[in-house]
Amino acid sequence: MSGKKKLLFVFNPYSGKAQIKTQLLEIVDTMVKADYEVTIYPTQAPGDATVKVQEEAGAYDLVVCSGGDGTLDEVVTGMMHRDTKVPLGYIPAGSTNDFATSLKIPKDMVRAAENAVYGKHFACDIGAFGGDYFVYVAAFGLFTSVSYKTSQEWKNVLGHAAYILEGVRSLHDIPSYLMQVECNGAYVQGEFIYGMISNSTSVGGFKGMTGKDVELDDGVFEVTLIRKPKNPIELNEIIASLINLVDDTDMVYSFKSKEVRFLSKEPVPWTLDGEFGGDHTDITVRNLRRAVEIMVPFEELQG
């Protein structure tokens, strides 16, 4: 047995209505047939996967994780805290799985397991958020708190936001944050109701939301900032922009950058990959280019 490759399989047993339970045997069988000696570890608590990967990944040739975007975030965070990195396979089991969509990883769990052991290595950008990490999106404002307060998947964030904005009776009801955003040697100040730094072709199951020509290994993020509307006309401009995904309003800023700093007097709550990322008054978000290798299908990735 000692000559075999070693695989650590970390999975969240409760992700996506616990669907892994009916397919676990077939998934592990796929890994063993690929000549791996498999160690199976069901996560026991939030943050558990981060500790496991950080402490033990070095003893393995491949780490495969299964769960929703939050599980993937934990595993990648654990890997980023290591000096030596190990390739990652991902078997999506949540209800949205934006990042798997971006990487063209199959939704079928057994096919995703085959991809994890037989696919090709893809060096992917990772986000540094102060001392923390995220895989595909960091965001503040507009109902991002809904996700971790109800512990549901972060579904259709901006579609949901547009819907809720439609129902806003008063512009004063929209929470906003007075911020200075510094980027590429320039800065913009204003009251923002939403901000998103992403490295994904899909956010909240919403394709195209993050802009055109998205590459997951180009060293830059796609950044979207939405200003607080002062009147119903501006509110309608924002809603039209969100629904039609057309960038033709001064109320919505979209640009690409490898580093963005956010400064505010009041603490701003953030989400990282849909999980609570803390309250911050000064946070710098940096793109760590091609920081982690993830197994992807052999067909070429398209932006």
For the chain, the domain total comes to: 2
139: nearest Cα among 268, 270, 286, 256? 270
Domain boundary among 118, 142, 164: 118
Q: Say whether pLDDT at 265 is over 50.
A: yes
Regarding whether 151 and 32 lie in a shared domain, the answer is no
Regarding whether 280 and 152 lie in a shared domain, the answer is yes
Kindly report whether the global pTM for this prediction surpasses the value 0.75: yes
Regarding whether 109 and 155 lie in a shared domain, the answer is no
Looking up residue 285, the CATH number of its domain turns out to be: 2.60.200.40
17: part of which helix (H) or strand (E)? helix 15-18
Q: Say whether pLDDT at 93 is over 80.
A: yes
Domain boundary among 92, 118, 144: 118
- Segment 188-200 shows an average pLDDT of 91
Q: Say whether pLDDT at 155 is over 70.
A: no
Task: Give pLDDT, residue 203.
Answer: 59
The single residue listed with the structure tokens 């990883």 is 105
* 297 found inside a domain: no
* 303 found inside a domain: no
Task: Give pLDDT, residue 227.
Answer: 93
* 295 found inside a domain: no
Regarding whether 103 and 146 lie in a shared domain, the answer is no
- Segment 207-229 shows an average pLDDT of 79
Q: pLDDT band for position 19 (50/70/90)?
A: confident
Q: Say whether pLDDT at 152 is over 50.
A: no
147: nearest Cα among 190, 94, 99, 192? 94
Q: Which domain holds residue 45?
A: 5-118
Q: pLDDT band for position 34 (50/70/90)?
A: very high
Task: Give pLDDT, residue 253.
Answer: 87
Task: Give pLDDT, residue 133.
Answer: 97
Regarding whether 274 and 154 lie in a shared domain, the answer is yes
Q: Say whether pLDDT at 158 is over 80.
A: no
Give the pLDDT confidence of 125-148 residue by residue, as tens digits: 999 999 999 998 899 987 565 444
Regarding whether 26 and 106 lie in a shared domain, the answer is yes
Residue 298 CB neighbours (<10 A): 8
Q: Which residues of 236-272 are buried (b: 16+ CB within 10 A; e: fewer)?
A: ebbbebbeeeeeebebbbebbbbebebbbeeebbbbb
* 33 found inside a domain: yes
The 3-state DSSP class for residue 262 equals strand
| 300 contacts: CB under 8 Å, gap ≥ 6 | none
Regarding whether 177 and 149 lie in a shared domain, the answer is yes
Regarding whether 96 and 11 lie in a shared domain, the answer is yes
Q: Say whether pLDDT at 252 is over 60.
A: yes
Q: Say whether pLDDT at 41 is over 70.
A: yes
Supply the mean pLDDT for the chain.
Answer: 85
Give the pLDDT confidence of 99-128 residue by residue, as tens digits: 888 899 998 999 999 999 999 999 999 999
* 42 found inside a domain: yes
Q: Say whether pLDDT at 151 is over 60.
A: no
d(CA 171, CA 229): 7
Percentage of residues of the chain with pLDDT beyond 70? 82
* 253 found inside a domain: yes
The single residue listed with the structure tokens 């980027």 is 183
d(CA 247, CA 250): 9
Q: pLDDT band for position 164 (50/70/90)?
A: low
Regarding whether 140 and 76 lie in a shared domain, the answer is no
